[in-house]
Chains A and B, each alone.
Chain A
Amino acid sequence: MLQDILVTGLVNGGVYALLAIGFSLIFGVARIVNIAHTAFYMLAAYSFYTLLVKFGLGFLVSGVIAVVGVTLLSVLCYRLVIEPVREHEAAVLIATIALGLIFQELMLISFGGNYLGIPSTLEGSVRVAGVGIPYQRLLILIVAAAMLLFVWFLLYRTRLGLAIRATANDLEVANLMGMNVRRVAMATVAISVALAAVAGVVVAPVFVVDPFMWLAPLVTMLAIVVLGGLGSLKGSLIGALIIGYVEAITVFALPGGAYLKGAVALLIMVVVLLARPEGLFGVVFEEER
């Protein structure tokens, strides 16, 4: 049973990590709580499905088109919808909720409420310590690790990363230092949504694609980033693993209460917040008091 928990928790944690890093990034830098983040994930899943199943374009081509397309769309949405109301924190919040709803309804109208299945990129499964793991899950783990490395490299080893971190620390000073804060925010939005889109392409094959698929991961993802500390990449990763393990432990320890795994994960989040209001690795921003 222990090996079951260890493996399952890790595998589920990988899925969550992939979703959470992007969200955490955009909050950390642009201070945008992007509720539509998982809606972009859904859009990527739908585009991937259409290209792969309807047009038969193959995994790689479909995946690349889906990620690029959704990223471009996000930049467009940012320019048209988010940027004009950036000043008003509350307006940004419901603008992103509205965006999420619009995407949901557009998918509902064009694909119906049917559940769709995306074929696995990799077929078959492997047994690790007596626990069956489908290859697709391993792929997700690898992609999640690669994405984390990529984001880390981008943030700490490139000029753009320096600009992003500077903006995250102090937007006004960064602006005064001659940085194009607008462009930096846009780049962050693009990177963050690209991560969501990658998740859509890689993760959606293990789940079911439907117009409401963005709501459940949204809640889990919010729990993870809040738990780990908003804006902290390390926090998101560890938060994802914690939630993954909490869920696995709930199911194994309490099989009749498997439906509670979501509630237990949220409870853990609340408990952590009560002890550490800024999350595990969050930074307290004094100027935001």
Chain B
Amino acid sequence: MYWLRKVWAELTNEVLVLPSRTLVLVWVIGLAALPFAYGDAYVLRILTMTCLFAIFAASWDLLAGYTGQVNFGHALFFGAGAYTSGILSHKLGVSPWLTIWAGAAVATLIGFLVGYLCLRLRGSYLSLATLAFPLIALGLLFAFPGFSGGELGISGLRRLAVTPMSNYYIAFVAMIVIVFGLWLIADSKFGIVLHAIRDDEVAARASGINTLRYKMSVFAISAAAAGFAGALFAHYLRVAGPSTLEVALSFQVVIWGIFGGAATIYGPVAAVFLLYPLTEWLSSLEVVVGAKKFAFGEFRLLIFAVIVLLVLLFMPRGLAPWVRDKIETLCPRCKQRNGGWRSVCRLCGVNLKAHGSQSKVAGAKGLVGHQ
């Protein structure tokens, strides 16, 4: 009874007071309940894929958004997870329930390595150098086809579960746990240090922070999450192939990340949940005008790119920060968020309406979402 009351108190005091947190709660409950309301296999497949890509996008954000190491080759970690788990379970016959962890572990190691190699690189140099890594890995995979399956990859992998619904729940739970974990990391003291490193690395180092260690560990954490997503993806599709390392996938995650709003974690997740089903929906959309039938399938990438461009023009910091600024205001004194309807801060009682416009200006000036 005590616990119940505590949960209720948390809910009313921490979640329901903020529209953004309420939205997240509704979204989580909605996703969890969806298969019971509507168990269509096709919809579940799309949502499963969406969940996996959401993990991938969130992991990119922790690295690129928070430390400013804009990784252009994030597919390397996704592919590493997919191939490791695929090879281990297929060649050695280990249960995929174990190998997905191995996939994440190998991705973590590779993350450490890439992080170490990139320590001295900054800005665009880092972005462009990281772009090279998955392509070099692709070259290696093609060089050892007996091991990697060459252009076909490793197919016929064992799956984690059989029914579409259980696969969906695996992806859903993995997403909730990992994304929430990444958010906790980003919101902790660790995350604040990352902000500091992005904004001024020299100053951070001068304050006694071992920035190198932070940069490398964030590479590793981000790689671990991406690798886990990749491993799940491989066992879901039952193929770990070179398409998990392609430039297109790396670009895709950059688009998701920045479209949703960098340095927020939830932004990229929201972006995936909007954009992935949208492109899929467009691909099956047919509009009948008179006697002619227009299939949108061939236009999906075009429409996708145009939407991304338009959203960027109106919300250059990304979707999620923009929405959040519309529905919430930042208290100028205690820096806590408040629902947009409040006139006094829920924590320190300061008048919000008088300062409201000021905080919005401060928010718009920043390069990335989280201030």
Q: Tell me if B209 counts as interface (CB < 8 A to partner A).
A: no
Which residues in window 254-283 of A have CB below 8 A to B? 257, 259-260, 262-264, 266-267, 269-270, 273-274, 277-279, 282
Interface membership of chain A positions 60-101, coded 1 if the CB is closer than 8 angstroms to chain B and 0 otherwise: 000000000000000000000100110111110111011101
Which residues in window 196-225 of A have CB below 8 A to B? 215, 219, 222-223, 225
A81:B313 contact, CB within 8 angstroms: yes
Q: Tell me if A226 counts as interface (CB < 8 A to partner B).
A: yes
Give the interface size bracket for A toward B: 35 or more
Decide: A98 near B140, CB < 8 A? Known: A90-B368, A273-B129, A288-B123.
Answer: no
Of B70, B139, B306, B316, which one neighbours A85 at CB under 8 angstroms? B316
Least CB separation from B306: chain A residue: A102
CA distance A105 to B304 in the complex (A): 10
Partner-contacting stretch, out of B4-12, B19-27, B114-122: B114-122
A270:B312 contact, CB within 8 angstroms: no
- B interface residues, how many (CB within 8 angstroms): 46
Give B274 Cβ to nearest chain A Cβ, in Å: 15
Chain B residues with CB under 8 Å of A289's CB are 122, 200-202
A223:B132 contact, CB within 8 angstroms: yes
Partner-contacting stretch, out of B43-51, B153-161, B166-174, B253-261: B253-261
Partner-contacting stretch, out of B236-244, B294-302, B332-340: B294-302
Q: Tell me if B284 counts as interface (CB < 8 A to partner A).
A: no
Chain B residues with CB under 8 Å of A162's CB are none
Q: Tell me if A106 counts as interface (CB < 8 A to partner B).
A: yes
CA distance A235 to B262 in the complex (A): 32
Q: Tell me if A33 counts as interface (CB < 8 A to partner B).
A: yes
A93:B121 contact, CB within 8 angstroms: no
CA distance A99 to B247 in the complex (A): 16
CA distance A93 to B143 in the complex (A): 32
Chain B residues with CB under 8 Å of A257's CB are 143
Decide: A98 near B367, CB < 8 A? Known: A90-B262, A289-B201.
Answer: no
Chain A residues with CB under 8 Å of B259's CB are 94
Chain B residues with CB under 8 Å of A278's CB are 125
CA distance A260 to B144 in the complex (A): 12
A99:B139 contact, CB within 8 angstroms: no
Least CB separation from A275: chain B residue: B120
Chain B residues with CB under 8 Å of A181's CB are none
Q: Tell me if B283 counts as interface (CB < 8 A to partner A).
A: no
Give B295 Cβ to nearest chain A Cβ, in Å: 12
Q: Tell me if B323 counts as interface (CB < 8 A to partner A).
A: no
Report whether over half of chain B's contact residues are helix, strand or loop; otherwise say mixed.
Answer: helix
Q: Tell me if B221 counts as interface (CB < 8 A to partner A).
A: no
Chain B residues with CB under 8 Å of A87's CB are 316, 367
Chain B residues with CB under 8 Å of A84's CB are 313, 316
Chain B residues with CB under 8 Å of A270's CB are 117, 129, 132-133, 136
Of B120, B262, B309, which one neighbours A277 at CB under 8 angstroms? B120
Least CB separation from A94: chain B residue: B258
B124:A230 contact, CB within 8 angstroms: yes
Least CB separation from B127: chain A residue: A33
Give A173 Cβ to nearest chain B Cβ, in Å: 20
Chain B residues with CB under 8 Å of A81's CB are 309, 313
Which residues in window 102-155 of B have CB below 8 A to A? 117, 120-125, 127-129, 131-133, 135-136, 138-140, 142-143
CA distance A282 to B308 in the complex (A): 33
Q: Tell me if A27 counts as interface (CB < 8 A to partner B).
A: yes
Of A33, A93, A215, A259, which one neighbours B258 at CB under 8 angstroms? A93
Q: Tell me if A109 counts as interface (CB < 8 A to partner B).
A: yes
A95:B367 contact, CB within 8 angstroms: no
CA distance A85 to B308 in the complex (A): 13
Chain B residues with CB under 8 Å of A222's CB are 128, 131
CA distance A94 to B122 in the complex (A): 18
Give B314 Cβ to nearest chain A Cβ, in Å: 9
Decide: A91 near B301, CB < 8 A? Known: A219-B135, A259-B142, A263-B140.
Answer: no
Q: Tell me if B176 counts as interface (CB < 8 A to partner A).
A: no
Q: Tell me if B101 counts as interface (CB < 8 A to partner A).
A: no
CA distance A95 to B312 in the complex (A): 7
Of B299, B304, B309, B317, which one neighbours A95 at CB under 8 angstroms? B309
Give A113 Cβ to nearest chain B Cβ, in Å: 10
A267:B258 contact, CB within 8 angstroms: no
Give B229 Cβ to nearest chain A Cβ, in Å: 21
Chain A residues with CB under 8 Å of B140's CB are 263
Least CB separation from B123: chain A residue: A288
Least CB separation from B131: chain A residue: A222
B367:A88 contact, CB within 8 angstroms: yes
B309:A262 contact, CB within 8 angstroms: no
Give A50 Cβ to nearest chain B Cβ, in Å: 19
A93:B139 contact, CB within 8 angstroms: no
- 19 further contact pairs, Cβ within 8 A, besides A93-B70, A266-B135: A84-B316, A85-B312, A85-B313, A87-B367, A88-B316, A89-B367, A90-B368, A94-B254, A97-B251, A97-B254, A99-B305, A102-B306, A105-B299, A109-B299, A222-B128, A222-B131, A225-B128, A273-B125, A277-B122
Q: List chain A positions with a Cβ less than 8 A from chain B.
A: 27, 33, 81, 84-85, 87-91, 93-95, 97-99, 101-102, 104-106, 108-109, 215, 219, 222-223, 225-226, 230, 257, 259-260, 262-264, 266-267, 269-270, 273-274, 277-279, 282, 288-289
CB-based closest 7 A-B pairs = A263-B139, A105-B302, A266-B132, A101-B305, A277-B120, A98-B305, A102-B305
Listed A/B pairs (29) with beta-carbon separation below 8 Å: A33-B124, A33-B127, A33-B128, A81-B309, A84-B313, A85-B316, A87-B316, A89-B367, A90-B262, A90-B367, A93-B258, A94-B255, A94-B259, A97-B251, A97-B255, A98-B308, A102-B309, A105-B299, A105-B305, A106-B302, A226-B129, A259-B139, A266-B139, A267-B132, A270-B133, A270-B136, A273-B125, A277-B122, A288-B123
